Amino acid sequence: MSEQHDAAAPAGSAKVYDHRAILAALPHRYPMLLVDRVVEVGEDQIHAIKAVSFNEEFFQGHFPGRPIMPGVLQIEALAQAAGILAIESLGLAGSGKLVYFMAIEEAKFRAPVEPGVLLHLEAGFVQKRSRVCKFWGKASVDGKVTCEVQFTAMIADS
């Protein structure tokens, strides 16, 4: 899998992913690919970004005159970031394994996400096993939390 290392970061430090590495890691494609960049991925935590553009298809109907990113798509973006974390942390790259939702728990929506912002996606492991993992996730804009959630995912063959 291609990856891009920060030139200022020492060898062996956390990795960053550009769009090519994200496409190699996730099976999602437009319009369902909701991670634009991974700022940092470590052993147990990830920080990614979704650039929320007015051109997103969901803004046409959610809501005309007051476009707001649906909360379920914020959770999906967090899950995709967590999928990259699982692939990296569990060594699943090139294995043909996929990360599937099993449960969404404790979802809380704190603030609307409007077009023209960078949605920061942070996720980490609550519990890590070879076939089932539980994650926490937090989305934010300019340091203000927009969504918090815990979710469980299954690692399975594609």
Which residues are part of the catalytic machinery? 62
Q: How far apart are CA 143 and CA 62, in angstroms?
A: 24
With beta carbons less than 8 A apart as the criterion, state whether 134 and 94 touch: no
Give the C-alpha separation, 10 to 91, whole Å.
21
Kindly give, in sequence order, each residue whose CB lies less than 8 Å from that of residue 149, ignoring residues fewer than 6 positions away.
Answer: 75, 78, 104, 105, 106, 107, 108, 136, 137, 138
Sheet with 132-141: strands ordered across: 15-17, 37-41, 45-52, 117-128, 132-141, 144-157, 97-109
Three-class DSSP labels, 138-158? EEEECCEEEEEEEEEEEEEEC
Read off the tokens for 13. Answer: 């430090």
